[in-house]
Structures are given as C-alpha cells and as structure tokens.
Chain A
C-alpha cells in the first residue's frame, strides 16, 4: 500500500490493526445511538483475538470499522501501516482486497463458483497469481483437496466455512476478520473450523480477529476482549470456556462499575 503516507511509529510495530479513540454514532439529536464509545484497542500480529459481548454491545460494529467495511465517526483506525480514515471507497476496496481476509457467518461463497474458484477469488479480482506452495499448504491444512471442484451447494456447512477460511488466508492478509464463523455450524464442524483458525495463527503467524458470542469458540483465542454498550469492559488472556462464561455473566456489573468509575 503506497497510497497513504504511513503514520505509524516504532511503538506500533508488531500491531496488525489498531483503533484509537474510536467513536461510532448513528443518527443525530434525539435519535442518536452511540455504537462505539471511545474505543482503543491494539491487535497484535500473530495473535488470535476474540471480541465478545452481549447483543448490541458493538462488537460487530467494531469489527466492521477495523476491517474497513464501515467508517468511524471519530478516532483513528489502522491496518498495518495504513490509516483507514479518509480512504476513498476505491482505497478501502483495495485495502480489503490486499490486506484483509473475511469469514462471515453465512453466504460466504458464490454459488456459481467451485470451491477452488471461491478460494482464489480475491486473488483473481486483484489480478494476482497465487503462491502455489502457500496455496497447497492452505488447502492441505483445511483438508479440502478432494472437494476443490465442488460447488458450494455440494458442500456441508462446515466444509463451506473451511473454504471461506482458505479464501481468507490464501492472499496472506494482514488481518483475517471472522464474524461468528461458527454461528451456523454444529459443534463438531465448529470445532474443526476453530481448530483450523488457531493452527493458522500458531503455524503461519496469521493475525485473526473473531467476533463471537460463544464462550467455547472464544476459548480458542489467545486473548478475549469484552465489549458492553460500545466500550471495552475487560479482557482475558489464554481464556478457558469457563473463565469466558464467568466474565460474560458478570459483564453488566463490570460495565456498570466502569461507568461508575468514569
């Protein structure tokens, strides 16, 4: 990316994406809704971060803002060395294409394309050739080699999500954003996908940010950031499902305390 002058400093190296004092406000006046309230968060390179919070806590909004899908009202957002604020639609599109990978909950794949074509789609759109060795590694990791010519309708939900994972990884993005990637899967398929995401962090030093409300899914991450009412409430390192569940139960209290402190 050469289109925006890098505004990063040495202190931010090792950070794949970061939000600084980010506000997201919808509407104005009486109808004003604050989705994000002065959020600052750094996502370290090579880390698997989960963002949790109850419905309406702003976790998806945060992810959309970090990923360049949505604009912020105030504050700054960086992906790698690129500042997202002020990028045009074309700039954002190119950023998403070259530096970001996406895994959505559903509708991840184009029904008209085969699994392989779906995986290579971001590269094809950019007009880039895949790195063969890396491609093979990804395919073998997700275990889809014998399904490459299948259409999405011929794949199970878990397989579809693994194709989506492979697509997100194959362009070696700065960050992969996963929005409830296991939300539509049974627990076994979900575990497969999560295990795969964790492995790509461990083995390939990939940075992954995952939004979820499933404590079990969050436990696969290295770090869990908890949101409530648009603010970061607390975070956990090396989480266990129980610890995550425990924090979620107390999240309203934590949020209230925080509000009191402020």
Chain B
C-alpha cells in the first residue's frame, strides 16, 4: 500500500508541484514573518544596547498622561535642580541633564520637511558625552543659533557644515547655522535611522520642552565598582516617586521590547499574506486531489476489490497529502528565510538606514509554525477527496465509463446553509454587538461565507458559464472551449472560486473605500461651508503644525470673512483618555460646520469651558453645567465646566475647548485652519495669498474643499495598494489553479484532441479552444468575486451608516478593470496547457492498441 502511494505520487509530479506551490507560498510568508521579526528584533536589541552603553542609570520625568499617544511623553520635564540632587547621591560619578525629544523637523533644500519613514526626529541638547562622535571639521554648538546634526540627517537633507538650516520644533521655523556633523562608533551615521538635531542646552529646553531650565532626563554614570541596580535604588530614593529611574540595561530592554511590539505590524501583514495564500491554496489542493481521485477511480476500485479497506484508501490519499505538505513546508521554510532576510535587509537600508542588522536567525517558532501550517492545510484540503476515494465501490473497477457527474443537490444545500451561517456571523459582527469578538466575527463570517459561496458555485456555474461562453461561441474552437468549461461544473467552480476569494476581498474593500470617499464628499459639499483649509498630512507621531501668527495675517487678507484655527492634543477628561481640540473661533462650529446647540451654548466658549457632542455626552452621562477634571499634556489637573452640548453631526464630534486654555497643550501652534471667504471674493487669489503666508510652514498647505477631501481620502489609495498586492498574490495562486485544471483537462481529453487534430483542427485552433475554456473560468471567477465583494462591501457600508457612511458607491470603473484583468489572467494561465494541447501527438492520441 505504501509503495503504491509513492508510485502514484511520483507519477503526478507536475500536478503536485502546482498545488504544492500554493502551500509553499503560504508557508513562505509564515516563515518570512517569523524570520523578519526575529532578525529585526535582535538588531534593535543590539541597537538599544549600543544607545544605552554608557548609561548606567537614567532618571526621566513621568508624563502627565502616560498614554503613549501622540507625544505626551515628550514635554514631560524635570527641573535643573534635580541634576544637582542626583549628582550628590553616593556612587554617582556624574549626572548630566539631557534634552532628547522627538519632533525636531529639519527643512531640506527643497523647502520640505525631511522624512524618516517612522524613525524619530530627535531634538536634543549637545552634551558632548554619550556615544556620539563629531566628525572632523565639526565643532559643538556654542551659540544659540548653532546646531549639529547626525550624519544620517546630513546625508538625507544634503547638509554641509556652514549651511543655514530651518528647523520646526514646538515653535515655528527657526534658522540655525550648522557647525558640526556627528556619527557613532563603527562609522554609523545613525543608530537606527533616526534624525537628531542638537542645540545648545537653553535652546533645546526652549524649543523641545517649552520649559526653560528643564531637562527630559538625567544621564547618570556610576563610579568605579558601583552596582547599577543598587545605584538606581539610591537615586530613586533621592528623587522620589515623581520620577522614573531605570538602569541603562533595563531601558535598552524596555526600548527593544517596545520596538518588538511595533514590529508586530510586519508580522500581521506577512501573516495576512500567508492567510490569503493558504486559504486560496486549500481550494487548489482540494481540486487537485479531487481530480486525482476521479482519475484513479478504477485503480482505487481495483485496490478495494483486492481487499484494501476503506481506511487504507483514506490513509493512502492522506499520506500523499502529508508528503506534499511536508515537502511544500520545507520549500516554504527555505523561501521564507530568504524573504525574511531580504525584507530585513530592505528595512535596514531603506526604512531605518544605518540599522546594523544582526545575523539572520531562524527561530524554532518559524520552523514549527511552517510545518504545522503547511502540513495541516494540506491535510485539511485532502480530507474530502480522501473520503470520496474511500467510497469508490469495488465494482467500479469493472465499469467501462468513468463515473458520471454526481447530482449537485447535496453540495448546494450544504453551500446554502454554510453561506447563511457565514452571513449570520458577519451580520453579528457588523452590528458591533460582539465587543471584543467583533473583528473575529467579521473575519470568520467572511471566511465562512466564502466557503459557502464556493459550495454554491457549481450550481451557479452552469447558467453563468453557459452565458459567458456564448461570448466566445462565434468560432468553432470557442464553441468547443465553451462546452468544455461547462463539462465539469465542480471542477470549473472550485477553480473559479479560488479566483473569487481574492477578487471578493479587494472588491469589498473598494466598495467601502469608495463609499467612504463619496460620503465625505457629500458631507463636505452639503454640510460644510468652508472655502479654504490649511492642513498637512501626518506621517510621524508629531502632528504637522504651522506658525500661529499666520492666522492673524490670513484674517487681515482681503476677501477672507472668517478664520478658525484648530489645535489638537491628548487629554484625560473625567478619567478617560481622549483627543481634544482647542478652537480660537468657537462660532465657526456653527458658521462653518452647521453645528447647533442641543443644550447650553456652543459659540461663546471661554477659558475653563468645554463643549461636546450629544452622543458622547449621553454615553459619558454629562450635561451642561457638569464639572469635570481635565488633565492636559502640561500642567496639573484642572476642573472644566461643560458649557454646551451640540447636536450630533456627520461633520464634527468630540471635545472642544477654548484657545484660551492652550497653555496646557503640547504646542501652541495650530494644526488646521478653516477659512470662509467673503461673498464675491476670488478663492484663487486668496489661496495664493495664504500660500505665500505659509512659506515658512512647509508641513501644511492650503487647499480648497475638494482638494482637501481628496487629500483626506488619498490615504485610501495606499490601503487599496496594500490590498491589491494581497490580491495579486491570491490571483497568482488562482492562476496556478487554472493552469492545473486546464492541464488536467488537456490530459484527460488527449483522445478528443487527437481526433480533432485528425479531422483537421489546426494547432492554433486547439490553443484557442483551451484559451477560451481558461478565460471562461477566470471571468466566471471574477464575476463571482465582484458580486460577493460588492455584497460584502455593501453590508459593511450599510452597517456603518451611523458612522457617516451616508452614500453607497460602487467603483464601477475599477470593477470593470478587474474583470478585464481576470480575462487576461485566463489567457496567461492558458498558455502552457494550450501549448501542450497543440503538441498532442495525433497518432498516440488515437492509438488504442
């Protein structure tokens, strides 16, 4: 029995390679995810060990909010007097006050802020200590208008010593003279892709902390022979509980742990790819095994007739699956190590230039996960075909014809039930009543729905494939191809279903995003009376801001009727962490956004007052007159009074306070401004004027309403791109499936092809016949995907109607494009099988002796 299994495996090499490829791809992403995160994780660990190499103990101020959102840590400071206190602790060799805060944005030669792809942009005081080393020809900043920067930043911004450099901080653009460039040991130009600007200490305190004479932390060196843990405890005792005291080793550990968490993003992306690959792969493997079993009916029946038990038949099929799963896992693991290494390299050279990569490691978890996933998926996919194989009756060995197609009743009923269950779970998830289970309910519902639709597909395939085929029925090869594609609805269906999954996902996302875009446009056009908006795109933890003085200049620009400046930050209100806006012109809420007071007043907001939307007010149980404790980024807890509650709106929600209370915000620079023009004013003229005012605020620009909405929705495009890459992968696997199915069709129909060739079918016609079959299958899959995806997307949009999805919009052009792509995919998938069909040896095909 074992030998028979292996013989049959070897005789179907190509088929197994094709179906195994899907598992290889899936496992590759799983292994790649583990290898990448392991490698980067160890790289960052070593990075932080380097960064804190000279720090024995560090004392840092505790942030007021401690939420980790935004940059509330950044402005927490400790007084200069504390440095002396620490310096007097026994065992301390030196205590140095440091400023090191994210948010120093350097303006490059092109007038734009130099970006880092997520790495911090430190503004610090130059202490001359630590790991930084000035390059030859550099000197430390001595005057208030002098800075030094790290070599990585100098390279990115093309800076040389002597250059005038604009820097944005808590304050608007200030220009400095670059007097030095520093690197790190081993010739590195940064520790891990970060940018650093070092000022003199007073400037750093002013610009980065906003508090003269304060530091963000104190770097403590231990005297010879002093244990750092003991020293930490002594320092902690000396400074009291208001400050965080850690050893350098612990800080390195904490920092790298924090990074590992950030890295899990890559893990999720790669595992998402793996999930799609494996889910689609199941279809492919299931199809392959079904076909193999169908082809071997007589062989299996003979085995049964010779005394093989059902269990032995099942085992023989499952053993085949096990071998395939194992081999695919080995290959996938190998490929995954390659992918992980490659991505780590790309990350280190692009994302965080200068990150010193630790050696590529293959953690045990990568190996275990690879084999577990690869083998399990293959076995799951092979289960049904194995069961079917075991049901082959011994008498089938004696029958002449292959088994006729079984009726579709059972599979259709099952499909109906599964689809209903999937839709139910999805609906439960979408209503948002699931709490923590919501996301899982949505994901699970989608997956189960896919399986259900896949089971229904054979039934749908008959009319649809027949109708589709008519498009190609103008030529004889087309007609033959069309008939062939309708011959085995199960096989056609499952092949098309693999394509459906990818397309349904992308279509669903597309529908949601285009509905969101349309809804935003609709709201902007109907409910917002703003003509120009000053804002910027955020691509770091620090929100883009602009010079506050611009606001007044805009106000005095001819043609401008009303200007409202918006300031944003985090806050803890009544014990709850939330984001908050401060507004210098409260009346704008009504004038520009059409908000109306539901209770109290909303357009005369004074210091110490708050307003809020009705929905949140109700859920928090607050009302006009309620007094709530508010902790802002700076300062202590203050009590605010709720002055008004505004009616729910699609345009605006959340807490608003007066610009009079801005002193508690991280920065007093505005993030956005809304401009309303006087009647008859020319928008273009005003826009040009405002643009000129913004010359020193490169993080923002001025846009009219449509441009602004486009900017806001442009991030959807990057989501779409991500999903489309995912789709490309799913399509790749689906193509494998189509090739697989067609190759089998050609093989099975060798005699027919021989006959056709004998009676005069040209090679090109034989190829066209196969191509039409492929295109019919792929277009059918695409139509299914578009339909299911539209359904999913529409369900989500409908469920989110209360969240502002007021318009349901289908991206017809894009959907048409996908359909065309699917047809092309069909043609591509047909190439190899078509060549094979054209090469059929007529004599061999019709020989029967």
Contact = CB atoms under 8 A, between A and B. Distances in A.
Are A and B physically bound partners? yes
A125 B843 contact: no
B760 A110 contact: no
B843 A89 contact: no
A108 B849 CA distance: 15
Interface stretch (A93-101, A131-139, A239-247): A93-101
A110 B763 contact: no
A11 interface: no
B144 interface: no
Interface in A97-132: 97-98, 101-102, 104-113, 121-122, 124-127
A60 B849 contact: yes
B504 to A, nearest CB: 30
Contact of B755 (A55, A90, A108, A112): A108
Contact of A93 (B483, B752, B762, B849): B762
A105 B752 CA distance: 13
B760 A104 contact: no
Given A97-B760, A122-B760, A69 B842 contact: yes
Interface residues of B, number: 24
Choose among B752, B763, B846 the residue with the greatest number of A CB atoms under 10 Å from its CB. B846
B484 A122 contact: no
B761 interface: yes
Nearest to B483: A112
B758 interface: yes
Given A60-B849, A69-B843, A110 B761 contact: no
A107 B752 contact: yes
Nearest to A56: B849
Interface string B473-490: 000100110011011000
Given A69-B842, A96-B759, A107-B848, A125 B483 contact: no
Contacts of A96: 758-760
A64 interface: yes
A126 B756 CA distance: 12
Most buried by B among A55, A102, A167: A102
Contacts of A94: 760, 762
B760 A89 contact: no
Which among A90, A113, A121 has the greatest number of chain B C-beta atoms within 10 A?
A: A121
Nearest to A113: B483
Given A105-B848, A110-B752, A113-B483, A121 B843 contact: no
A124 B760 CA distance: 10
B572 interface: no
Nearest to B760: A97
Interface in A77-102: 89-90, 93-94, 96-98, 101-102
Contacts of A102: 755, 758-759
Interface in B429-485: 476, 479-480, 483-484
A69 B751 CA distance: 14
A102 B476 CA distance: 19
B353 interface: no
A60 B846 CA distance: 12
A70 interface: yes
A112 B487 contact: yes
Nearest to B485: A112
B753 to A, nearest CB: 10
Contacts of A64: 843
B848 to A, nearest CB: 6
B757 A93 contact: yes
B763 A70 contact: no
Contacts of B701: none
A125 B848 contact: no
A94 B483 CA distance: 24
Nearest to A55: B849
A90 B765 CA distance: 11
Contacts of B751: 107
A22 to B, nearest CB: 16
A90 B838 CA distance: 12
A122 B843 contact: no
B757 A104 contact: no
A167 B759 contact: yes
Interface in B590-645: none
Contacts of A126: 760
A138 to B, nearest CB: 15
Given A104-B846, A107-B848, A125 B755 contact: no
A261 to B, nearest CB: 31
Contacts of B762: 90, 93-94, 125
A125 B417 CA distance: 45
Contact of A125 (B487, B759, B842, B849): B759
B748 to A, nearest CB: 11
Contacts of B484: 112
Interface string A181-223: 0000000000000000000000000000000000000000000
Interface string A13-41: 00000000000000000000000000000
A31 B576 CA distance: 91
Contacts of B842: 69
A111 B755 CA distance: 12
B381 to A, nearest CB: 29
Nearest to B758: A102
Nearest to A120: B476
Which of B484, B756, B848 is the most central at the interface, judged by chain A CB atoms within 10 Å of its CB?
Answer: B848
Nearest to B482: A112
A124 B476 contact: yes
B480 A112 contact: yes
A108 B759 CA distance: 10
Contacts of A55: 849
Nearest to A124: B476
Nearest to A117: B479
A107 B842 CA distance: 13
Contacts of A109: 755
A108 B752 CA distance: 8
A119 to B, nearest CB: 11
Contacts of B486: 112
Nearest to A64: B843
26 contacts: A60-B849, A69-B758, A69-B842, A89-B763, A93-B757, A97-B761, A102-B755, A104-B755, A104-B758, A105-B848, A107-B752, A109-B755, A110-B480, A110-B483, A110-B756, A111-B752, A112-B484, A112-B487, A121-B759, A122-B760, A125-B476, A125-B759, A125-B760, A125-B762, A126-B760, A127-B476
Given A107-B751, A109-B755, A110-B755, 13 more contacts: A64-B843, A93-B757, A94-B762, A96-B760, A104-B758, A104-B848, A107-B846, A110-B752, A112-B480, A113-B480, A125-B760, A125-B762, A167-B759
Interface of B: 476, 479-480, 483-484, 486-487, 751-752, 755-763, 765, 842-843, 846, 848-849
Which 5 residue pairs of A and B lie closest in terms of their CB atoms, listed nearest first? A97-B760, A112-B483, A124-B476, A107-B751, A122-B759
